[in-house]
Amino acid sequence: FCPDPETCKQNCAVEGVDAKGYKKNYGVRQMFGKSDDDDDDDDDDDDEEDDDSDADAKDADGEPIGVKLDFSTEGGNVGSRLYIRDTEHSYKMFKLLNREFTLDVNMKKLGCGTNGAVYFIEMDPFGGMGRDGNAAGAKFGTGYCDAQCPHEKFETNTSMGICCVEMDIWEANKRATAYTPHPCSTVGPERCYGNIECGYGENGERWKGLCDKDGCDLNTYRMGATDFYGPGKGYEVDSKKPMTVVTQFLTDDGTDTGKLVEIRRLYVQNGKLIGNAESTIPGVNGSAITDSFCNAQKIAFEDYDHHQEKGGLASMGEALARGLVLSVSVWDDYSTHMAWLDARFPPAEDPAERLGVIRGPCNASDDGPAEVRPKHKKAWVKYYNFRYGEIGSTYQDKVDRRLEAVHV
């Protein structure tokens, strides 16, 4: 029925799915519990029976507070990706310059080779409705783009992609985490043509495209703080327990029209506010993403500085002011087995010869989809209590939270 785009258009239509279908087919369910604080944090067995304890309780208004994404389903689906809508036919556009974005996460079931990702992308607010025959739009989740310039499944010309600015708030499993700005020379989603413009290829094309595919990542393990984030009481942030993740977008003058100069990470766990770990890499100082941090990191790690070529934080700040769409997902990685997040990458590099190669404690040779899918078949991630507002307003306890904070 659907072997190619033209035949597919003749024979098929987007039908949509209800909540039961989301759960059965894609492992996606709404969360109604007020919190996840009483979740069993001592059990590290990925094959334990599923936890549905949050499905019965409701918040004061009976509204869902988040989502739980299963890594795989009995029907064979692996991974999922969702967006937040504003209306039936449009995505919610977050304008985060001089603001902070906060959510609660539970990562305890995501092991090596998996990635629970929360990120902003400059998608079209209406999901491309009306363009190129698109009659589905945001209601059906169309219009995806990101800084990797992906091409659609049925795109016959694989040298074409769709690019846009991407701000990775949270890419993590229980072994490693990173947050990363990916500026582009685009405004909104833009089609790329050919290996150079799309950044496809292994001979330097990656750093010639419309977007900074590598970005400027802040992974505390990679920056030398190997005991900061991980599973268990020996880590400052215990990934076996729920946590609140705060990301602040600070401007040079503290106004909404200022220039983005810093992206700061904070955590709240067990009632304690935890600042991000300081880098211990020689020549790279700080615990937040700034242009000086990014420039020093690229030099220390001998990485190509495409981030600065694409305008650095100033460029990212312009996109934050325009407005971005929020996406939440869980996935695995055929290409690198998630080594760029939690293992040795590039795999051929000797960490004794090059700093920054070790991104986490995992072994990528054991973490491809063929190994990860049976090993973590009952894994899941929870994202909930999304909120955004003025700097310092979103991570107070629920009684003392300031009025500027807006729940999503």
User: Which residues are designated catalytic?
Assistant: 166, 171
C-alpha gyration radius of the chain = 20
Coil, helix or strand for 339?
A: helix
HEC sequence for 71-139: CECCCCCECEEEECEEECCEECEECCCCEEEEEEEECCCCCCCEEEEEEEECCCCCCCCCCCCCCCHHH
Q: Burial letters for 3-22: b for 16+ Cβ neighbours within 10 Å, e otherwise?
A: eeeeeeeeeeeeeeeeeeeb
Token pair recorded at residue 28: 């996606």
Q: Which residues contact 291 (CB under 8 A, 6 or more apart)?
A: 261, 308, 312, 313
Report which DSSP code applies to 278: P
Distance separating alpha carbons of residues 326 and 345, to the nearest angstrom: 28
